[in-house]
């Protein structure tokens, strides 16, 4: 099973709402990632978790709060977002290091902030 | 200068043509190189993964890496309309901080 699943597929929220994005993988990977992708742009790395610990935060605003409850799950909590945060949010997973650590992506959550 | 440079296209070719996609990079720390295919409104799909200079072939796809020139390529033989997508090069060093190229939009016309 080389699948990364993400829920929901689509999300519309107001600037005062609190919502969460969820990501799950059952490949035994110990590294998980959040990316943000704007239209016609490449994915931009937001966060990296390695062995359930945050290892990279690419200076992401605090209105995005990641959480890794266990090795299979990754959440992204959203609060007080801005319209410019509207994008496709992609989750990925991989082995942690060395060879064979290519990242597998989920289908993404398309977020619209009104 | 961006760490990874990729011509965004668009690139349009007739069915059956050989497609050549390229990226250059500036960071010598990059050791692992990937090509992803992304269809509209979908997540990126891993096509090829290499970590050494040289060629790697998988079906109609060949990935080429030249670390001395900091240049990577993806060749698609006998291109099909179903190959129409955005192709993203990606690379990383020993840490998991992957960087993507801008992506090249490819259209294969029947």
- pLDDT tens profile A23-43: 999 999 999 999 999 998 999
Closest CA to B5 of B74, B103, B87, B97: B103
Q: A50 - beta bridge partners?
A: A31, A53
Residue A100, pLDDT score: 64
Nearest by CB to residue B98, choosing from A4, A99, A103, is A103
Query: Do B95 and A106 make contact, defined as CB atoms within 8 angstroms?
Result: no
Query: Do B100 and A50 make contact, defined as CB atoms within 8 angstroms?
Result: no
Interface probe with A: pick from B33, B39, B96, B105, most Cβ of A within 10 Å: B96
Q: What percent of chain A has pLDDT over 70?
A: 95
For chain A, give the mean pLDDT: 92
Nearest by CB to residue B43, choosing from A40, A50, A106, is A106
Residue A1, pLDDT score: 58
Nearest by CB to residue A99, choosing from B41, B51, B99, is B51
pLDDT at A97 over 70: no
Residue A31, pLDDT score: 92
* Element holding A73 (H helix, E strand): strand A73-79
Residue B68, pLDDT score: 93
Distance in angstroms (rounded) separating the CA atoms of residues A22 and A8: 7
């Amino acid at each position: 099973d080389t699948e990364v699943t993400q829920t929901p597929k689509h999300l519309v929220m107001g600037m005062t709402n609190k919502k969460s994005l969820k990501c799950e993988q059952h490949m035994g990977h110990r590294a998980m990632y959040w990316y943000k992708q704007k239209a016609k742009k490449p994915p931009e790395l937001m966060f990296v978790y390695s062995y359930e610990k945050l290892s990279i935060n690419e200076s992401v605003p605090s209105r995005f709060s990641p959480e890794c409850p266990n090795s299979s799950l990754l959440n992204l909590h959203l609060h007080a977002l801005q319209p410019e945060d509207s994008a496709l949010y992609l989750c990925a997973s991989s082995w942690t290091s060395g060879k064979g650590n290519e990242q597998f992506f989920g289908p993404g959550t398309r977020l619209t902030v009104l | 200068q961006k760490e990874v440079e990729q011509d965004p296209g668009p690139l349009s070719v007739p069915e059956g043509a050989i497609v050549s996609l390229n990226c250059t990079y500036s960071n010598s720390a990059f050791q692992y190189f990937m090509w992803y295919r992304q269809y509209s409104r979908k997540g990126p799909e891993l096509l090829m993964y290499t970590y050494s200079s040289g060629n790697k072939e998988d079906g109609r796809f060949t990935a080429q890496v030249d670390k001395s020139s900091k240049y990577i390529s993806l060749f698609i033989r006998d291109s099909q309309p179903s190959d129409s997508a955005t192709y993203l090069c990606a690379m990383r060093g020993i840490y998991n901080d992957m960087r993507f190229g801008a992506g090249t939009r490819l259209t294969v016309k029947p």
